[in-house]
Each structure stands twice: as structure tokens, then as C-alpha cells.
Homo-oligomer: A and B are copies of this chain.
Amino acid sequence: MTTRPPTGSRSARDLERYAALFSTRTKVMKSSAMRDLMAVIARDDIISLAGGAPDMTVFPAEVMAKVMSQLAAEQSARALQYGPTEGLEDVKEAIIEVMAAEGTIGVDPQDILVTTGGQQVIDLFCRTLIDPGDVIIAEAPTYPGAVPCFGAYEADVVQVEMDSDGMRIDELEAVLDQLARENRRPKFIYTVPTFHNPAGVTMSLPRRKRLVEVAAERELLVLEDNPYGLLRYEGDPLPTLYSLDGGQFVVYLGTFSKIFAAGVRLGWAVAPGPVYHKLNIGKQAADLCSSPLSQLFVSTYFRTGEWPQLLSAFKERYHRRRDVMLDALAEFFGPEAVWTHPQGGLFLWATLPDFIDTTDLLARALEENVAFVPGRGAYLDGRGGSSMRLNFSYVSDEDIREGVRRIGAIVHEQVALYGTLTGTVVPSSPVADERPAPGGPDQALADVLHLPRRAGDGRRAGSSE
């Protein structure tokens, strides 16, 4: 019928015409640094240490074919039809199996809400709880993908420092006390306790226990975001906050993205009844239900019983790549940086001398065809300017080494330039930190990693688990 106007006329479609219509949240809505990088890192000639994607070449193509044909033969009609908002029982069985493997036994299927990725849980949780100006407590740094979500709901996010044992609960309590004096009750505490994204650290057992106590004492909800819990390469597993709390104040967030496949876009929440009910209503409005095609693909796969082998394959590969990255950092970043030593997960967090801005550095790195996530994307208050998140799950061992080498070369160049311009000798301990470390730095690890003696501020090297 009618054709679209030629492209020329679209210059008239300027922002001004629509700007008055946007909601307040829209005006403050910012794009996630990570997602904006997606277009760039999709280029074949870029070594991307910026993503958070699993390496799906681990997944055997013949298994995919087998599961697809079984799904088509057995579940075709259900896969193509709407499902209930809360999710299909089939996939809830797989979720219960995954949570049992994490040590959480006896999850009630009625408490499980199947969602469109773990991201949707964060969104629905904010939707359920946050009015503009409400306080969310998060870690410093926090998951970069949560930042635009918190922004969209106009939350006031207070970020609590971490060290190598995860969120500092003493500081959390001080923050809560301060808020109480201001008559402000935070709506929830958002945490990635295990193999933190982006910091790469893990919350210790004593802190886990204390966090759960604090939540119960103050009747505060905790959103435990646990995408990587099963991807442990060393050390002993720790109980989830959810299992310590018994599902009273901790809402659990899980996802199939990192232990199975990101492309199915399936995650889940486990929440107490009243919260569950509100999340469910929110999900109705958001997307009615998550794809039954995806759900039945997952449940068909999990019924093959092969997922522990897949998990082992992921772990083996990422363990090796973590080691490759740690070795490369020691070789190429040298004394100019500190970084964390993750015992699992996909990321580590590196911090450069504070005269280096990693957002600027990224522009320079992209010229050398390598990418990372600048640290500022993990803060809502402009901090993180000299840090970066590095991913070791997605690219090959060779590319990890080469990528770190290129970034290291740029860092050395910047450090030398700074020295020339200022006439100073750059110290080997790059970041000044006034606060003494609680318990001091982990010298054993620091020695292995050629790390300077420093700690605190969420940038401390080494993990003490």
C-alpha cells in the first residue's frame, strides 16, 4: 500500500520532536557500557575481553541436533504454544536439579518463577519494589548490566565496598545504620556473592552468615544473583545465601546462560509467596511468559542427563583460560596494575594507576583491536575510572594472551607518557589507598601474582577463600 517516505525525510525525525514525551526514567536511562560494546566486539578482527558470554563451542553440535529432534518429535505442539506465566513444570525440574547441585535441597516448584534470562529477575524485582528515590544497596563495583536497570527505576543506589572476601558486611551495617538515622529503609540488597561480576571475588562463609542475619534482623530483602556458582575452578563450594536463609528474606536469581546456553534466555527467581506473586504479575505485563520453545529445549536437554559433563567441559576450559589470563597479566601488566584472582566464574577486575582513565584507554585499545569493559560501567557514582573488567570465558587462550599483551603495551605507553609529562617516576604500587587493609593483603597470592602489597577498596588482589 503506502511506502515509507524516503530516508531523506527522516532527518526531520529529530529527538526534539519526541523529547517532551519521554518519561522521567527515560531521561535518566543510560545504556549499559557492556551492551554498547556489543556492536564493536561483534567485529571478527577484535579480541574482545569485554563480553560476558559463555564459549558455546563447548556445546557439542550433535547434542544440539539430538535434543532438537527429540523436542520436535515429542513436544512440538507445546513448544509452539503459550505457556503459563510462572513457567513450565518441565523446566522447573531442571532448575531444582541445578539448585540441588549447588547444595540447595528441597526447593518448592511453586516458589520458582521462570524468567527471560536472569536479567529479567533484576528488572521485575526493581519493578516490584522500587519507587523513585528508593534505596538499593549494591556492591562497589556492581554488575554493569544492573546499572541501567537500577537507573530505569530511578533508584538511589548505595554501593558498599568489597575486598577479597566479598562485600564488607561491617560497612554494610554502617550504611544501614546511617540510612536508619535518615529514616530511609533500603528496599533490597543486591549481591553477586560468588565469583562476583565484575570483581571476581567471592563472599566468605562468615560474611554470608552475617549478611543473612542482618537481613533477618532488619527485615530486608536480599537479591542473590548467582549465575556462576557452579563454575568453580578451585577451593571448596560455599552455601548460597538462599540456603543459609531458608528462603525467608533472600530471593534467589539463577540462570541457564552460563551453565547451559545463553541463547535460550532463561533464568529464574525463587521467592517467598507474597514477593513471588508480585513478580508474577509484573512478568504478565512484561512478556506474558518466557518462550516454551526455550523451556522445553532446556528440559529435554536436562533429561538426557548430560549436563554435568557439559558443566565439567565449561569448567575445564574456563579454568585453563583463567590461568592463561593470570599468567598474561603477570607478564604484560607487570607492576603497573593489580588484579583479582577469581576462584571461578568468568571475570577478573584489574586496576591501573589512578592517572589512567580506562574509558579513554578503551578508545586506544580499540585501535589495537582489543576491548574490555571500563570500570565506570560498574558504578553509579562515577567511580571505577581506573579499573577494567576482563573476561576469560569467551575468546581462545591465544587471544586472551594476545589481548592482554596489547592492553599491557598501551598501559606501559600511558605510564611512560605520564612519567615524561610529569617528570615523575611511576611507583610500582599504582593506586594510593588511605585505608589499611582489614587483615592485610594476601602476601602468598600477591607473591605468585607479582602484586604489590595493597588491599581494600574492592581492588585488592587475591581471593582468600
Contacts and interface: CB of A to CB of B under 8 A. Distances in A.
Interface residues of A, number: 114
Contacts of A264: 80, 291, 293
B57 A68 contact: no
Interface stretch (A121-129, A320-328, A348-356): A121-129
This chain's copy number in the assembly: 2
A265 B30 CA distance: 26
B123 A274 contact: no
A315 to B, nearest CB: 17
Contacts of A274: 13-15, 17-19
A82 B221 CA distance: 30
B119 A286 contact: yes
A8 to B, nearest CB: 12
Interface stretch (A100-108, A174-182, A332-340, A405-413): A100-108
Contacts of A84: 38-39, 42
A2 B56 contact: no
A382 to B, nearest CB: 19
A263 B292 contact: yes
A340 B239 CA distance: 59
Q: Which of A30, A81, A145 counts the most B-chain CB atoms under 10 A from its CB? A: A81
B26 A123 contact: no
A379 interface: no
Contacts of A5: 246-248
Given A78-B263, A80-B264, 12 more contacts: A2-B103, A21-B188, A26-B129, A59-B80, A61-B73, A64-B80, A67-B72, A68-B72, A79-B263, A145-B284, A263-B293, A265-B288
Closest 8 CB pairs of A and B: A1-B103, A80-B261, A65-B72, A1-B239, A68-B68, A2-B243, A149-B285, A265-B291
